[in-house]
A and B are shown apart, each in its own frame.
Chain A
Amino acid sequence: MKARMQMSTSMVRQEFFKKWIKGMQIHSAFNKEMTIMERKRAIKLSADVAIASTRSTATQWSRAVVAGVSASAAGAARAAAEEILGRKLPERKALAATCSKKIVRRSRQRRSKGVVRSSAAIAEKLVRNRTRVLKGLVPGGNKLDEISLIKETLDYIASLQVQVDVMRHLAAAAESLDHQQISF
């Protein structure tokens, strides 16, 4: 699995970079004068959609990222995401199922209070808490069971590494260019 990942890393990098640049170009075409926060959001969104589209529909987290963008983004962001993905985003949907799930979970938590636990139960609880945190971190992790959560986390970490690497290269390039401009 690891070897496969490393083999395809350079391909993923190229793909991500191209899509990311494309998304940012679309953003800047929509809005010429952006504040720094707008710019930052545009860069982040383009990067997220680009890295998700490199793993298009193969994994849960990329689908969740795309779904989140399609639920929230509008205007330039939506156009950029559609351009990066190469397809139309679906219309926004209501999020009804998550609400009931939360209620169920809360009631289950309340029941387990006030019980003296053994050390094994405490360890179990620690693992469960961390799993919940991890579910919150990985996009779309709330719907996953533990096995597929770890699988998704693997994939997500690998993709984040690619993303961070490419972005860092670009940032370093931009920075050194800035320095050079000053020195000229």
Chain B
Amino acid sequence: MLHCLNSSTSENCEMSVLERQRSRLKQQQQQLSQNHPPIPYFNGNDHLAYSGFHVDQALSDLVLNGGAMKPDPGVEHHDFRRFMNSGSATTDFQMSSALPRTVSYTAAASVNSAPGKESCKKRKADRSPKIAAEEKKMKGCAEEESKITEQNSNSKSTTTTISTSANKNSKGASANGKKASDAPKADYIHVRARRGQATDSHSLAERVRREKISERMKYLQDLVPGCNKVTGKAGMLDEIINYVQSLQRQVEFLSMKLAAINPRLDFDIESYILKEMFPACPPAMEPDHSHLQFNTSVEEVSGSGLEMVVDPMDATLRRTISAPITAQQSFLNSSSLNQIQQVTWEDELRNLYSMEYQQGRSTFISQQITGFLEANHVKLEM
């Protein structure tokens, strides 16, 4: 904790404008944190007066120690005076009073990694007194110089707002005690750095909700083609809407097409499966060139072929019935369906269909050979 504070403050100082002042501030901060370990800043109920009191005490200690321990206090005061008196004093001051907030975020975020909301609150609770201390320290210097008034009021107002928010948060976090784990703070700090102040429970809930939505949007992006290029939620929703509409229209169109193709709804599953699974097959499907060789087995099968027509969907039944088919299937596979076997099936459905296809085909062949006309297969015989 102490180390974290020190590193972040040293980061601040490195980012500040004046080179000389950097080392001074660093030393002062180290002394400050040595004299007053950071526990008192947040272990109590942390109301404003309490922390402010500690900050003031720390400030006085700082000033005293700084005066006593610096080898060249005059130079330091000169630096401060020059810093305050210079033409760009106002902007510089504002920068240096604004810097601690942003820079300490990034520094802490680089140190820490895991997210967690409770301890994020704690983080804020123990961090903002530090900012308050820094700003008050600056303010104290300014009052010492008694040059700048309106910038002081600005920094004063920011200090109070931060302290009040810290007060509010620390009420929730005070039950957790003083052990401030460094790890789970980065997420909160990251979001806050981007968004400004959003620490109440409503904002947190809203943020969680938004995160959930964006996470699911990512899944949708994977699912919807062409959605990867689009950025922004509105554009993504556009893509999703278009895709859903196109899918629904396709369903409409396909059902219309099927209705137009079929004069009856009684789908001839065998033939459809046959076609569906072997779209490249029809040219190679002249049944004469190899199938006449196994008349006997086909005739054997024809009986079960009729039952298939009766109950076309029940594959298991067919499998039990068609024990003689298996021999024929192996024959089919070996002799004439080599090119079919070369086709790589996408999934088990196709495997199932290929089974059905072979059986359906066996009925087809058997009917061709026996000359038996069945009502369902009139189309095939045409």
Choose one: A9, A130, A181; the contact of B237 (CB below 8 Å): A130
Could you name 24 residue pairs across A and B whose Cβ atoms are closer than 8 Å? A2-B222, A10-B346, A10-B347, A14-B348, A17-B349, A32-B264, A36-B260, A39-B265, A40-B255, A40-B259, A130-B234, A137-B245, A147-B216, A150-B217, A154-B216, A164-B250, A167-B254, A168-B254, A169-B276, A173-B273, A174-B261, A174-B272, A175-B257, A177-B271
- Min CB distance B215 to A, Å, is 9
Q: How far is the CA of A44 from the CA of B216 in the complex (A)?
A: 29
A126: chain B residues at CB < 8 Å are 234
A84-92, A94-102, A109-117, A155-163: which one contacts chain B? Answer: A155-163
Task: Write the chain B residue with the least CB distance to A15.
Answer: B349
Verify B259–A36 contact, CB threshold 8 A: yes
Q: How far is the CA of A2 from the CA of B279 in the complex (A)?
A: 29
* A10-B348 contact given A171-B261, A175-B261, A177-B379, CB 8 Å threshold: yes
Residues of A bordering B, CB below 8 Å: 1-2, 9-11, 13-14, 17-18, 21-22, 24-25, 27-28, 32, 34, 36-37, 39-40, 42-44, 47-48, 123, 126-127, 130-131, 133-134, 137-138, 146-147, 150-151, 153-154, 156-158, 160-161, 163-164, 167-181, 184
B272: chain A residues at CB < 8 Å are 170, 173-174, 177
Interface bits B241-283 vs A (CB < 8 Å: 1, else 0): 1011101101110111111111011111101111111010010
Task: Write the chain A residue with the least CB distance to B252.
Answer: A44
Q: How far is the CA of A98 from the CA of B252 in the complex (A)?
A: 27
A18: chain B residues at CB < 8 Å are 313
Choose one: B241, B243, B269, B349; the contact of A13 (CB below 8 Å): B349
Task: Write the chain A residue with the least CB distance to B238.
Answer: A130
- Min CB distance A22 to B, Å, is 7
A138: chain B residues at CB < 8 Å are 244
Verify A127–B260 contact, CB threshold 8 A: no
Task: Write the chain A residue with the least CB distance to B264.
Answer: A28
Q: How far is the CA of A34 from the CA of B266 in the complex (A)?
A: 11
How many residue pairs at the A-B interface have CB separations less than 8 Å?
169
Verify B349–A154 contact, CB threshold 8 A: no
* A184-B382 contact given A14-B348, A134-B240, A150-B213, CB 8 Å threshold: yes
Verify B219–A27 contact, CB threshold 8 A: no
B352: chain A residues at CB < 8 Å are 14
* A174-B254 contact given A24-B267, A133-B241, CB 8 Å threshold: no
Task: Write the chain B residue with the least CB distance to A40.
Answer: B259
Choose one: A2, A14, A28, A134; the contact of B265 (CB below 8 Å): A28
* A174-B243 contact given A14-B352, A131-B237, CB 8 Å threshold: no
Q: How far is the CA of A126 from the CA of B276 in the complex (A)?
A: 43
Task: Write the chain B residue with the least CB distance to A166.
Answer: B349
Verify B209–A147 contact, CB threshold 8 A: yes
B193 interface hit (Cβ, 8 Å): no
Give 4 A-B pairs besides A36-B259, A178-B261 with Cβ atoms closer than 8 angstroms. Answer: A24-B267, A44-B252, A134-B240, A173-B273
Q: How far is the CA of A150 from the CA of B268 in the complex (A)?
A: 39
A10: chain B residues at CB < 8 Å are 346-349
- Min CB distance A40 to B, Å, is 4
- Min CB distance A36 to B, Å, is 5
B223 interface hit (Cβ, 8 Å): yes
Verify A147–B247 contact, CB threshold 8 A: no
B233 interface hit (Cβ, 8 Å): yes
* A21-B313 contact given A10-B348, A147-B213, A153-B240, CB 8 Å threshold: yes
B224 interface hit (Cβ, 8 Å): yes
B70 interface hit (Cβ, 8 Å): no
Task: Write the chain B residue with the least CB distance to A16.
Answer: B349
Task: Write the chain B residue with the least CB distance to A13.
Answer: B349
Verify A180–B313 contact, CB threshold 8 A: no
Task: Write the chain B residue with the least CB distance to A138.
Answer: B244
Choose one: B233, B243, B347, B382; the contact of A157 (CB below 8 Å): B243
* A173-B276 contact given A25-B266, A27-B265, A28-B265, CB 8 Å threshold: yes
B271: chain A residues at CB < 8 Å are 173, 177
* A160-B382 contact given A39-B262, A127-B234, A171-B258, CB 8 Å threshold: no
B148 interface hit (Cβ, 8 Å): no
Verify B259–A39 contact, CB threshold 8 A: yes
A32: chain B residues at CB < 8 Å are 264
Verify B255–A44 contact, CB threshold 8 A: yes
B269: chain A residues at CB < 8 Å are 21
B107 interface hit (Cβ, 8 Å): no
B15 interface hit (Cβ, 8 Å): no
Verify B379–A130 contact, CB threshold 8 A: no
Verify A174–B282 contact, CB threshold 8 A: no
- Min CB distance A10 to B, Å, is 4
A163: chain B residues at CB < 8 Å are 247, 251
Q: How far is the CA of A181 from the CA of B346 in the complex (A)?
A: 28
A133: chain B residues at CB < 8 Å are 237, 241
Q: How far is the CA of A42 from the CA of B274 in the complex (A)?
A: 24
Verify B216–A176 contact, CB threshold 8 A: no
Choose one: A34, A37, A150, A171; the contact of B254 (CB below 8 Å): A171
3 A-B pairs with the lowest CB-CB distances in the bound complex, closest first: A173-B275, A173-B276, A28-B265
B220 interface hit (Cβ, 8 Å): yes
Verify B224–A157 contact, CB threshold 8 A: yes
